[in-house]
Chain A
Amino acid sequence: MPFLGAKRWLLAGIALAILASYFTPQFNRYYLGVVIDVGIAIILATSLNLINGHTGQFSLGHAGFMAVGGFFSAWISLQVGGTANAIWYFPLALVAGGLLAAAVGLLVGVPSLRLRGDYLAIVTLGFGEIIRVVAQNTEAIGAASGLKGIPKLTNLGWTFGFAAITVYAISALVNSTYGRGFIAVHDDEIAAESNGVDTTRTKVTAFVTGAFFAGIAGGLYAHHKQFLSPTGFDWLKSIDIVVMVILGGMGRTVGVIAAAILLTLMPEVLRDFSEYRMIIYALLIILLMLLRPAGLFSFNFKRRSHS
């Protein structure tokens, strides 16, 4: 399990992202947009993977956390206004959105993580809907008509910089003695408890960490699309992210990233007949569960077999 040079990979990832963003003006705007979508999806899927994959808690509320971070950071940007000092306030706005999402995650997580399996899924589903309804009725963030005119600050650098940080953080956590607690909770809560793992605390930690990065992804999304509507964060959005985690193989970082890329590109490729998107989604998952129950990209059978 040596995770040597992890920080070097992180720095390389960030450097590459910044370098890429330097050439941004030369890119086709459409492709650029899609690539940024991919980066955001990677953040969402990797962070949900900590909750649903590594820790084994089935959450359907990721879009809710994304909404919290998105609306809050967009609101900050609109208060500060302009793109002049973006390099300073944009990361702060993103992190602020992430922190608020994490705080909400704590608020939701502490009572609901006593539940297991289906019950937890229902509670988190309900939470996501609450967020959406609250957003729809809050005048400060535009209520039902949403937030308009958010400055376009998201670029390749920020997106993939934060994607690199997310992937690093989740992998670093899980690949440590401390983080083995997440997997222990996933495997057997009773054995984990009796070996000194505080299971409730571990689950809440995973939940809050996942919420933080979902909040950041929300902020990137807001400053990418420049328009936020509460209806964009309904439970279908959460399902999209869950599908990435399942398709990639619960708890497998590389697989989940690959699935995030695949599932973001697929609707773009299928744009001409996008009504069939959900059908293809469903077919893909059914096929996958039949053919590769451990996930599409499970190279690492020996170490982390869930079968």
Chain B
Amino acid sequence: MNVPLLELEKATIKFGGLTAVSELSLCVGDGELVGLIGPNGAGKTTAFNMITGVYRPTSGVIRFSGKDTLGIKPNSLAAAGIARTFQNIRLFRSLSVLDNIRVAARLHNGEGYFSALWRGKGWKTAEAETEKNALELLEIFNLTQQRDELAISLPYGDQRRLEIVRALATRPRLILLDEPAAGMNPSEKDDLMRLIRFVKERYNLAVLLVEHDMKVVMGICERIAVLEYGIKIAEGTPKEIQCHPKVIEAYLGVAATPIENAHA
């Protein structure tokens, strides 16, 4: 069997006495779309932070295309092909829409300090290339019109989409989306689902998605893992998850009725 693109093996992180994520094992294969769900505070974002190198797991192993990521800094992991968006949008607020993408495209711009100073022919070509690629991405997400606007002046839904564009500009193999549909209206959510599917196919991306909107999660995920109190309580296809007793319990609580009624 091939090595999975992302592999968590009993990844655990403790903050003092609190175990935020406990022995989480999870695989994401190349080009796979996996959902990570769970009630608030279940440890989904913490799991993201471990995968992207922001937090260092207390124990356990995280491998990206077969390599242990322990101690690798987030920027190096981004260069290796892990991109992410944030639950609370983190755009560069003094930069334009286009420049937000240029920051991420720096990884592939290839020009450094001295060529930026000298501004020779190679530099100009690279800058033009970077801009062209950035505009191409903006076009896909229908943000071309706003290219010169300040990123933070965009409407909320557009800001979320711009974060995805920015993440794509790092040319990832795996993209982690942290509640991309939060704050969107139903038609924006439909658009978003379509876009996620589209870019996944087009760039052959693996996607790990944290989302509270069940319609989105059930609609696009091929596989879903459920976290509760930092522990993975279930994993399976959307259908399996929907009728998994532990998942229903985590979301709705235990039935107050006696046990014999549970079979009903």
Q: Once the chains are docked, how many angstroms separate the CA of A199 from the CA of B93?
A: 17
Q: Which one of A186, A188, A197, A205 contacts B106 once the chains associate, using CB atoms below 8 Å?
A: A197
Within 8 A of A (CB), among B48-69: 52, 54
Question: Digit string of B85-106 for contact with A (CB within 8 Å is 1, else 0)?
Answer: 0100011111110010011111
Contacts of A198 in B (CB 8 A): 73, 75-76
Chain A residue nearest to B127 (CB atoms) is A177
Does B166 make an interface contact (CB < 8 A)? yes
* Pairwise interchain contact A186-B94, C-beta atoms closer than 8 A: yes
Given A191-B92, A251-B94; A177-B106 close (CB under 8 Å): yes
Known interface pairs A1-B99, A195-B166; 14 further A-B residue pairs with C-beta atoms within 8 A, sorted by A's residue number: A6-B119, A176-B111, A177-B111, A180-B106, A183-B95, A187-B94, A188-B93, A191-B90, A192-B92, A194-B78, A195-B106, A196-B78, A197-B106, A305-B150
* Pairwise interchain contact A195-B167, C-beta atoms closer than 8 A: yes
Contacts of A187 in B (CB 8 A): 91-95
A interface, size bucket: 35 or more
Q: Once the chains are docked, how many angstroms separate the CA of A205 from the CA of B114?
A: 12
* Pairwise interchain contact B109-A190, C-beta atoms closer than 8 A: no
* Pairwise interchain contact A194-B74, C-beta atoms closer than 8 A: yes
- Per CB-CB distance, the 4 closest pairs between chain A and chain B, nearest first, are A191-B90, A176-B116, A196-B78, A187-B92
Q: Once the chains are docked, how many angstroms separate the CA of A7 from the CA of B149?
A: 27
Within 8 A of B (CB), among A136-192: 169, 172-173, 176-181, 183-184, 186-188, 190-192
B interface, size bucket: 35 or more
Q: Once the chains are docked, how many angstroms separate the CA of A186 from the CA of B74?
A: 17
* Pairwise interchain contact B170-A196, C-beta atoms closer than 8 A: yes
Q: Once the chains are docked, how many angstroms separate the CA of A253 from the CA of B166?
A: 27
Q: Once the chains are docked, how many angstroms separate the CA of A186 from the CA of B103?
A: 12
Interface residues of B (CB under 8 A from A): 52, 54, 73-76, 78-79, 83-84, 86, 90-96, 99, 102-107, 109, 111-113, 115-117, 119, 123, 126-127, 130, 148-150, 166-167, 169-170
Can you give 5 contacting A-B residue pairs, CB < 8 Å?
Answer: A173-B117, A177-B126, A183-B95, A188-B90, A305-B94
Contacts of A183 in B (CB 8 A): 92, 94-95, 99, 103
Interface residues of A (CB under 8 A from B): 1, 3, 6-7, 169, 172-173, 176-181, 183-184, 186-188, 190-199, 205, 251, 302-306
* Pairwise interchain contact A178-B150, C-beta atoms closer than 8 A: no
* Pairwise interchain contact B109-A303, C-beta atoms closer than 8 A: no
* Pairwise interchain contact A304-B94, C-beta atoms closer than 8 A: yes
Chain B residue nearest to A54 (CB atoms) is B94
B128 to chain A, nearest CB (A): 10
* Pairwise interchain contact A195-B170, C-beta atoms closer than 8 A: yes
* Pairwise interchain contact B130-A177, C-beta atoms closer than 8 A: yes
* Pairwise interchain contact B103-A172, C-beta atoms closer than 8 A: no
Q: Once the chains are docked, how many angstroms separate the CA of A197 from the CA of B126?
A: 18
Q: Once the chains are docked, how many angstroms separate the CA of A303 from the CA of B95?
A: 7
Q: Once the chains are docked, how many angstroms separate the CA of A302 from the CA of B96?
A: 9
Contacts of A173 in B (CB 8 A): 113, 116-117
Contacts of B105 in A (CB 8 A): 177
Interface centre among B73, B103, B105, B112 (most CB of A within 10 A): B103
Given A178-B116, A184-B95, A251-B94; A302-B111 close (CB under 8 Å): no
Chain A residue nearest to B86 (CB atoms) is A191
Q: Which one of B79, B95, B117, B119 contacts A196 once the chains associate, using CB atoms below 8 Å?
A: B79
* Pairwise interchain contact B78-A191, C-beta atoms closer than 8 A: no
* Pairwise interchain contact A179-B116, C-beta atoms closer than 8 A: yes
* Pairwise interchain contact A172-B116, C-beta atoms closer than 8 A: yes
Q: Once the chains are docked, how many angstroms separate the CA of A43 from the CA of B146?
A: 36
Contacts of B91 in A (CB 8 A): 187-188, 191
* Pairwise interchain contact B113-A196, C-beta atoms closer than 8 A: no
Q: Once the chains are docked, how many angstroms separate the CA of A251 from the CA of B92?
A: 14
Contacts of B92 in A (CB 8 A): 183-184, 187-188, 191-192
Q: Once the chains are docked, how many angstroms separate the CA of A187 from the CA of B96?
A: 12
Q: Once the chains are docked, how many angstroms separate the CA of A179 from the CA of B99?
A: 11
Q: Once the chains are docked, how many angstroms separate the CA of A34 from the CA of B212?
A: 64
A152 to chain B, nearest CB (A): 31
* Pairwise interchain contact A193-B170, C-beta atoms closer than 8 A: no
* Pairwise interchain contact B83-A194, C-beta atoms closer than 8 A: yes
Given A180-B102, A188-B93, A305-B150; A199-B75 close (CB under 8 Å): yes
A116 to chain B, nearest CB (A): 16
Interface centre among B75, B90, B102, B113 (most CB of A within 10 A): B75
Contacts of B79 in A (CB 8 A): 196
Q: Which one of B74, B94, B113 contacts A193 once the chains associate, using CB atoms below 8 Å?
A: B74
* Pairwise interchain contact B103-A195, C-beta atoms closer than 8 A: yes
Q: Once the chains are docked, how many angstroms separate the CA of A241 from the CA of B103?
A: 29
A8 to chain B, nearest CB (A): 11
Q: Once the chains are docked, how many angstroms separate the CA of A194 from the CA of B103?
A: 11
Contacts of A169 in B (CB 8 A): 117
* Pairwise interchain contact B130-A195, C-beta atoms closer than 8 A: no
* Pairwise interchain contact B96-A197, C-beta atoms closer than 8 A: no
A47 to chain B, nearest CB (A): 14
